[in-house]
Amino acid sequence: MFLVEYEKRFEKIVSKYLLNDEMKYFTGLPIESTKISEVNSKYHSILCFSSTKLVTFFALDEGNDKFNYTSEKDSLLLRSFSTDFRYLRNGYGKEALRLLPDFVNDNYPFIKEIVLAVNSKNKPAYSLYVHSNFIDNNTRVDGKKGELIVLSYKM
């Protein structure tokens, strides 16, 4: 498995990425994130491939939204993390998160922290993040769809 930053040449592959209704409740479609990436140089859409299949997706945001969750200026906000519905329960999400620190070190060497906010109702995602060494520091914030749990990974 490997991670690569989105480029326009991946547009067709990204447009075929599938989320079920429950997943759509908690996260955005990758095609929406890639449109943000095309106009915002601080918003990086990351594609996770297993061979030639796009299996997992997330965005790394250098913008100011991260300050809703951390005071660390040298941080990235992990957003829109998902695994294509057709490839769930194959370990792709876990593997993407395992590869994430090296990817960040290679591409953003100044980064000291990766932060994210997960809906408290999204138990599978919370468990995945915690088992991938993200730390729950007991910070909670109100989100559009309920309470968010803030997790961080120190680089």
Q: What's the CATH code of the domain at 12?
A: 3.40.630.30
Cα 119 to Cα 74, 75, 140: the distances in Å are: 24, 20, 10
Give the DSSP per-residue string, 18-62. Answer: ---HHHHHHS--HHHHHHHHHH-TTEEEEEEEETTEEEEEEEEE-
Distance (Å, whole) CA 149 – CA 141: 7
Distance (Å, whole) CA 66 – CA 20: 27
* Number of domains present in the structure of the chain: 1
Q: What is the pLDDT of residues 105-144, one digit of tens each?
A: 999 999 999 999 999 999 999 999 999 999 999 999 999 8
Q: Minimal CA–CA distance to 135: which of 122, 119, 116, 121?
A: 116
Task: Print the domain residue range for 54.
Answer: 2-154
> pTM for the complete prediction?
0.94
Q: What is the pLDDT of residues 67-113, one digit of tens each?
A: 999 999 999 999 999 999 999 999 999 999 999 999 999 999 999 99
Q: What is the pLDDT of residues 36-61, one digit of tens each?
A: 999 999 999 999 999 999 999 999 99
